[in-house]
Amino acid sequence: MQRDRNPSFPGPTTPPTGRFGRREFLQRSALLAAGFAVPSSLVAACGDSGGGGAVPESFDPSRPWWLQNDFAPVEDEMDAFDLKVRGRIPSVLDGLYVRNGSNPQKADSPHWFFGDGMVHGVRIADGRALWYRNRWINTILYEKGISFGDPNTPPVGGANQSNVSTIWHGGKLLTSGEVGFPYELDPSDLSTKGVYDFGGALKTSFTAHPKIDPVTGSLHFFGYWFFDPFLTYSVADRSGRVVSSEAVDVRQTTMMHSFAITDRDAVFWECPVLFSLEEAMAGALNPFHWDPSYGTRVGIMPLGGSTSDIRWVEIENCYVFHELNAYRDGNEVVVDVCRHPEMFAGEGLEDSEGDLRRWRIDTSGSSMRFRDEIVTTAPYELPHPDRRFTGRRHRYGWFSTTRPNDQTVDFGGTGYVDYETGKVSLWDPGSTRHAGEPFFVPGGAAEGDGWLLTFVYDHSNGKSTLAILPALDPNGGPVAEIELPRRVPYGFHGVWIPGGGA
Ligand SMILES: [Fe+2]
């Protein structure tokens, strides 16, 4: 099978053509530098996608899709104050919302996922939108003005674009890419402080999806890497001091984008998307490939445990980028995931439809037992929980959706799942509007009592807002929308910093 060259690794590169087809996008979705995939299940029309009445965006097939519409980068940094608000911002909201994404400084990225990281932040307090700022993350690559995968700059340490996620822990605002070290930002103005390696404790790599135990405040994280040890698992206490770091025995490097915790377990899923060092060195665009012969398994170990403590159970082949949450239910570990039957499988990938699944792993016997059930086949991804319930039994989940579109990825609305009643619903932002990842911010004590924040882009006028939705009734639409001084490009993962962090 012909493979594109990968500018993420040493070796000569040939940027792909600007023509964009659905299959091309699918085959390149969630490459190693990205935290977000738009698998076929999101592109194919199925379930509650909110596509009814949508007005498709115009698209120029002669130009790279990642430089068009709201995928296109913005050209500069901006500060704006006292933003106009439609509706009323809930007075309980006092904090800073920061979302990361890919924004190539020269607008010449070989792929959406390979752009320099840029954060967009909105500071909210006293019912007002105090300011908006956007800042490039001043990574080593950004400072050098080079792309991810420069032959003379191997992707180690801080040589990544840190464009996937944002993390608030131990009083520090961090950004992370898929691999490599995170960066620390100043929440007062979103400027970059520098590479963050946990005081020298971080040796290999840091996931874009660490987990914070809401009771202990500990940060649990893993990193996968291209050489032995292929996988490490670490814990930092609530202050950010790394208290344990263990290599976890796995046979090869697989794309492990996220993991989960319960109040006593760390849960890993090893899926058969394998990394090929040979192909990477030869310059393949995507050196990760679906290899069902490797198998798929779920591993459970005690929080803070070591590789000798982990137990694995084989499951049907699949791929999972993101989980909503996990928790203990007696002898069972329950994990709610966005499951895809396969990933990077080449021909036929577009026919692979994903769904939301509930995994149950019985840990009581000498061998763990696995079963799962479909929650919904609606095209929902980018799951977001009430993080006060991370690792604990949850009821609600919020998601980003897409609309059916054969030409491009057409973000839609905000999906909402009540796992207790089984109700699945959607907020559709309008025929020309597109919502991103929903982020839950608490407003009251109970699960789901709070607000969803999400950037919304209107392709009819090129403008963006930050929408605030009641989390337990998102279908009714926003209670407020903050008008932003510029378009905010589609991006990946955000975070909320109570009080603003400064
Ligand atoms: Fe992600």
pLDDT digits (tens, 9 = 90+) for 332-345: 999 999 999 998 88
H or E stretch at 141: helix 140-144
Find the 435 Cα to ligand 1 centroid distance in Å: 16
As a whole number of angstroms, the distance between CA 89 and CA 83 comes to: 12
CA of 288 to the centre of ligand 1 (A): 16
Q: Quick one: average pLDDT of 478-491? A: 97
> pTM for this structure?
0.89
Q: Where are the domains of the chain?
A: 22-498
Statement: residue 24 has pLDDT above 50: no
Summarised one tens digit per residue, pLDDT across range 207-246 is 999 999 999 999 999 999 988 999 999 999 999 999 999 9
364 CA distance to ligand 1 centroid (A)?
A: 31
Mean model confidence pLDDT for the chain: 86
Q: Which CATH superfamily is domain 22-498 in?
A: YVTN repeat-like/Quinoprotein amine dehydrogenase (2.130.10.10)
Q: How far is the CA of 365 from the centre of ligand 1 (A)?
A: 33
For 341-449, where are the E strands, in sequence order? 355-362, 369-376, 380-384, 396-403, 410-418, 424-427, 433-435, 439-442
* Gap from CA of 208 to ligand 1 centroid (Å): 7
CA of 81 to the centre of ligand 1 (A): 30
Over residues 319-334, the mean pLDDT reads 97
How far apart are alpha carbons 214 and 97 in whole angstroms?
19
Ligand 1 center to 172 CA (angstroms):
20
Rounded distance from Cα 127 to ligand 1 centre (Å):
30
Report CA(35)–ligand 1 centroid distance (Å). 4
**CA 322 / ligand 1 centre spacing (Å):** 6
Tokens 């904090």, residue located = 95
